Amino acid sequence: MIFDFQHLLFIAPALLLAFVASMMVRSAYAAGRQLPARYSGYAAARAMLDSAGLHEVGIEEIPGQLSDHYDPRDKVLRLSSEVFHGRTLSSVGIAAHEAGHALQDAHHYVPLVVRNAAVPLANFGSGAGLLLLFLGIAAGFAPLSWAGIFLFGAVVFFQVVNLPVEFNASSRAKAQLVDLGIVDVDEMRAVRKVLNAAALTYVAATLQSILTLLYYVLRFTASQRHD
């Protein structure tokens, strides 16, 4: 796709926020790695799951860094090696956040259900949306461009719905970590920094998708006025 400098300028606030969030995540994660915890990431997640009666939810070790996630289809937490084995506040916080997603799934948390349902269309729209929009503009065929806008709108919808899902998972993690005695109130400060910084990355991604959609809607409507 042709490089669009105007688009880059338009989404610059989101890119700046994403850069700041990335720096905050790296800083908070590095600081938390230096602080020992009584539990490993695996043990913390297991304790949260078992306390909620989710004994059937498995926990698997996977390669990579910060590749941690919860798979609602297989009902399993997948934790990177460092988080799985690490006895640090960073590892405990990340593992607890993913366990929070499992708790959401078990309680049929509505935004999570909606987000999971939106995944296929969002994945398709992220690639096909802008392509159809540009093809419609080039061919002078407005319905094709509107189809592209609709498809990319699914990406924006996914990102917006994902925000409460991620914030709520962190809220569940923070509450459970203290209630179960996995971390104390003083240790929670470091965990909170990791989770809050990670949440900011989702805010940046959402803002970027919204600004991208707005930019191309404006670009399309401007091309319509010139025709």
**What would the pLDDT profile of 54-66 be if each residue is shown by its tens digit?**
999 999 999 998 8
Question: Confidence band (pLDDT; 50, 70, 90) for 222?
Answer: confident
Question: Confidence band (pLDDT; 50, 70, 90) for 2?
Answer: low
Which one-letter DSSP state was computed for residue 80?
E
Question: Confidence band (pLDDT; 50, 70, 90) for 3?
Answer: low
Q: Which residues are catalytic?
A: 98
Question: Confidence band (pLDDT; 50, 70, 90) for 227?
Answer: low
The tokens for 128 are 């096909």
Burial of 226 (0-12, 13-18, 19+ CB in 10 A): exposed
The pLDDT assigned to 1 comes to 46
Query: Model pTM?
Result: 0.89
Instruction: Evaluate if residue 20 carries a pLDDT over 70.
Output: yes
Task: Render pLDDT for 78-124 as a digit per residue (tens, 0 to 9).
Answer: 999 999 999 999 999 999 999 999 999 999 999 999 999 999 999 99
Domain range annotation of the chain? 5-226
Rounded to 10°, the helix 185-226/142-179 angle is 170
Other beta carbons within 10 Å of 55: 9
Nearest to 154 by CA among 132, 125, 191, 127: 125
